[in-house]
Each structure stands twice: as C-alpha cells, then as structure tokens.
Amino acid sequence: MSTNSTSGRNAQWGGRFAAGPAAIMRDINSSLGFDRRLWRHDIAGSRAHATMLADAGILSQPDLDAILAGLDAIEAELGAGTFIFDPALEDIHMAIESRLTTRIGEAGRRLHTARSRNDQVATDFRLWLRDAIDGLATQHRALMLALATRAAEHAATPMPGFTHLQTAQPVTLGHHLLAYVEMLARDAGRLADCRARLNECPLGAAALAGTGFPIDREATASALGFSHPMANSIDAVSARDFALEFLAAAAIAATHLSRLAEEFILWCSAPFRFITFSDAFTTGSSIMPQKRNPDAAELVRGKTGRIAGNLMSLLTVMKGLPLAYAKDMQEDKEPVFDTADAWCLSLAAMAGMVRDMQPNLPRLREAAGDGFATATDLADWLVRTLNLPFREAHHVTGRIVARAEALNRTLDTLPLTEMQAIHPGIDARVQSLLGIDASLASRASLGGTAPTRVAEQAAAWLARLTPDATP
C-alpha cells in the first residue's frame, strides 16, 4: 500500500505551521530568538532617551522617574534570568516596552515618543557591536602577548623558513611567531578603525525623517558614549556598513588565525615533529590509541569558513536594498553575532595553544639545515667577497649544491676542494658562514631573522603589550 510522501514530508517538516498563515508570519517576522542579547543596550538607550525627553520638557518628571525605576527592575529580571519572554512579541524592544507598560502603566507607553524601532535597533546594534569590539581587542592583545612571549623565549631557536612549503632559508622560531604578531596588530587596527566609524548615534532619526519633537540628539549621543549624532536621518536607520566593516575585519583576522592553525597542524604531525601539544588542546582517536589530534587548531581553521560566509551573507542582503529601512535588514544580526562568538572562541583557543605548545628543539635545528638551506648565504658570500654578479653567483652555488647532494653532504661539511673545483676563487673563509647559526646571525637587516634582531622586536612588542603599556 503506497503512502503519500508529500503529505508525510509536510507533516514532518511543516507541521509546526499547521495553524496557517498567522503562525508562519509570526515565526518569519520574529527576531526575539536572537536579538534578546541586545537587552542591556536597549535598556541603556531607553534610559538616555527618556532622560532627554524629560530635559526637553516632552516627558514629565514623574513619568521619567517611573520609567527609570521600571527599567531598573526589568534589567534586574533580565540579569537574573527571570524575565519571561512572550513569543507573541517579535523582538527584544517590544518585549521590554511591553513589560515596562505592564509594570508602570501609562508612563511606559510614553517612552516611545520621538523614536522608532528603526533608530532604536540601529542604536542598540551599534552599542552591542562597540562592546563586542572592545572585548575582541582585549583578546587580540592577549594572543599577541602570548606570541611575543614565546618569540622572546625562542629568539635564537633555528627552524626552517619555507616558501612554497619547501625549505628555503633558516629562520628562528621567534621570528616566525612575530610574523603573526604583526598580522594581528593590523587586525587590531582594523577593529579600532571599525569602532571609530560606528561610534555615531542614530537615536532621534526616528523612522527615517527625524521628528517634530524638540529633542536633543547631542544629549542622547553623549549619554551613550557616542562621538556625535549621525548627520542624516535616512542614513542613520538604513546604514549597516558598520556591520559589514566588522565582518570584513573578522574575515581577514580569521584568515590569519587559520594560517597559524594550519601551521600548528602541520608542525605537530609525524613528518614534521616540530612541536607537541598537551591533552588540553588535542583529542585522542576512537580507534587508534597512538594518535593525538590537534582538534582545537582544526576547528579554528574550520570556523574561518563560517566567518567569511557571514560577510558574504550580509553583503548579499544589503546589495539591493533601496533606502531607507526594509525588513531584510533584520538579517543583519545573526551573522554578526555568530562571527563575534566564533572569533572570540578562536582567539581564546589560539592563545591557549601558543602558551601550551612545546617546541622540539633538536628536530627544529635538524630541519633548519635540510634542503641546503644556507645556499643563499653561499651565493651572497660570492657576491660580497669575490665580486661576482648575483646571477653568476647563483649559478655557481647551484653547481656546488648539486655536488654536495651527489656526495650526500651538507654545504658546511662539503670539502673546500670540491667547492674550489667549481670556482677556484673560493677559500676557507666561506666554510664558517655556511652553518645554521652563522646564517641566522648574518640576517641582521631591519626586520631580519638574526637572533639579536628578533630579541629586539620581541622586547619591543612585550613593552607595548604589557597591561599598563600604550598599544
């Protein structure tokens, strides 16, 4: 006997909307499930707005007192987790206003004078994101400090430097870690720029055209810590470039974290054996007892896809919207909230892994000499000492490397006579320059990998990143 597969699917997946259009509209229209995290900022905005209305003579003092007392009580309920959310109220703004009216009566209905949910939500969202940025900036500093601390410890620890994931030249582990400090510093700069641009106040723009009430937008902007009110009421309610800028900054920063995570994954693998992690940041295999999997790093790497996707999501939402507000813009918060959460967790995980990792010093030194990594030092010596054009020096060095490979020797152990057979001008001075430590010490140009330079840079970053230092 056949069954109606269509009706089966409808019963399984569409049964919650069996009540008809009202249920569908309620669910698609509601943002309360995710925007409730704006409650602190909504209450702060309402306090500032009510105080301004009273100062402007629009709201009576008794009504202001009742509103402020009611908001205090609601804040306590929300903080304690005893606030009851009514699913019939579509967002956090209506939920708080409804509760306020229930508590204090008619005065609660006067709070919405001279504002709209359009400027209210834009204000709340900017306040929330400003706080999120401040928290992320603190976490960025913590990760940079962890990296700089380990860099100072390993300013002279040799390791292979790679291009194309092929051994290129020796560098130090400290130098490699400081490269990420530099990246993270730029990420922090993008966050600071984003914060500065979003720190203007939409409140008072009302629905889109401003209001006929004699409000003081400078007062509410100041009370909420904004630098100034937004100059155009249409822009104030319709702009979401601050959210896009945050998501763009996050996507770049997540890419940097993903690159570091990828290196940690490679470095702790059996072929590399550069570092190990404790059980705090790894997991075991369900079937292979010998394995220790770098799951924390892999998850950081994976979250980069979500964060980059969130940027594309909001770009797509905003790209075709005419001014001013449209309900599509309700889709702005979930990608931002999700990105902030994922970014925060990724920063914490990476900082923990940086502190936890244990470098395998003998293996790092061994790998630093693989692949004739000091060949460039030989070519440079030929240029400096024998005055060869670099292209000729490059050719001579290539022949010497081929000879060393044929004899299964490293460059610093290749007999001088073998080198002289290729170029008679080479003398014994070159041999002291072809070891790993000599190669590292020679790279003393600004920004180079010489241990003295790395120690200087690590010390400079540590001075900037200590809690009392100016960033």
Q: Which residues are catalytic?
A: 164, 285
Residue 315 burial (CB count, 10 A): 14
Q: What is the DSSP secondary structure assignment for residue 449, as one 8-state letter?
A: -
Residue 21 is encoded by which pair of tokens?
């259009």
Length of the chain: 471
Q: Which residues pair with 147 in a beta bridge?
A: none
Sort strands 166-172 and 275-276 into parallel, antiparallel or unpaired: unpaired
Is residue 161 exposed (0-12), middle (13-18) or buried (19+ Cβ within 10 Å)? middle
**Cis before residue 402, ω within 30 degrees of 0?**
no
Give the list of residues 6+ apart from residue 217 with CB closer than 8 angstroms, or none.
201, 203, 204, 229
What is the rounded CA–CA span in Å between residue 126 and residue 256?
26
SS3 label, residue 418: helix
SS3 label, residue 271: coil
Taking alpha carbons only, the member of 127, 140, 125, 263 closest to residue 192 is 140
Taking alpha carbons only, the member of 40, 99, 91 closest to residue 67 is 99
Own/partner long-range contacts of 412-421 (Cβ < 8 Å, ≥24 apart) = 412/374
SS3 label, residue 168: strand
**Cis before residue 156, ω within 30 degrees of 0?**
no
Which segments of 319-407 does DSSP mark as H helices, in order?
A: 333-356, 361-368, 375-386, 390-406
Residue 299 is encoded by which pair of tokens?
């998850």
Q: Which residues pair with 172 in a beta bridge?
A: 158
Tokens 């072929």 sit on residue = 271
204 touches 210 (CB < 8 A): yes
SS3 label, residue 383: helix
| Alpha-carbon 197 to chain mean position | 18
What is the rounded CA–CA span in Å between residue 142 and residue 192?
16
